[in-house]
């Protein structure tokens, strides 16, 4: 079974994606902050991380940048955010993000289908 770590601080959005992902047979671990997410990365084998950008304590792109500087291993990452802009996408690409999806452009079932091609 494929394991996904979803780091999303908005409860309603998190629950909506968890439901859809679990319906498709994924095991989903959830975190509200990157600090919480790191616990799962240490203790579980994660196949894919879905990461929001705007998070409490540390934003998603800053987190990825820190991991890269520290040469720490992380699973493949897909950004799932409401932030649109060329700068965000370019920064994500430099940080080896696999894809960048705007939450407002897709319904959760479409996101799940897009995720499947990465795991």
pLDDT at 119: 86
pLDDT along the chain (119 residues), means of 10: 96 95 97 96 95 96 96 94 91 96 92 90
Give first-to-last CA distance, the chain, whole Å: 10
Secondary structure class of 7 (helix, strand, coil): strand
Q: At what angle do helices 86-94 and 60-69 cross, to 10 degrees?
A: 30
Taking the complete model, does pTM exceed 0.75, yes or no? Answer: yes
Domain count, the chain: 1
The C-alpha atoms of residue 62 and residue 110 are separated, in whole angstroms, by 27
Domain that holds residue 112: 3-116
Helix (H) or strand (E) holding 49: strand 48-51
pLDDT at 87: 93
CATH number at residue 48: 3.40.50.2300
pLDDT at 52: 97
């Amino acid at each position: 079974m494929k394991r996904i770590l979803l780091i999303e601080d908005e409860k309603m959005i998190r629950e909506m994606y968890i439901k859809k992902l679990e319906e498709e047979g994924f095991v989903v671990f959830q975190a509200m902050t990157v600090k919480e997410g790191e616990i799962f990365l240490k203790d579980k084998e994660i196949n894919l991380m879905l990461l929001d950008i705007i998070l409490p304590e540390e934003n998603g792109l800053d987190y990825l940048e820190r991991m890269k500087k520290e040469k720490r291993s992380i699973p493949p990452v897909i950004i799932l955010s409401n932030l649109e802009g060329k700068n965000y996408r370019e920064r994500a690409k430099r940080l080896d993000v696999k894809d960048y999806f705007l939450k407002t452009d897709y319904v959760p079932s479409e996101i799940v289908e897009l995720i499947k091609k990465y795991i």
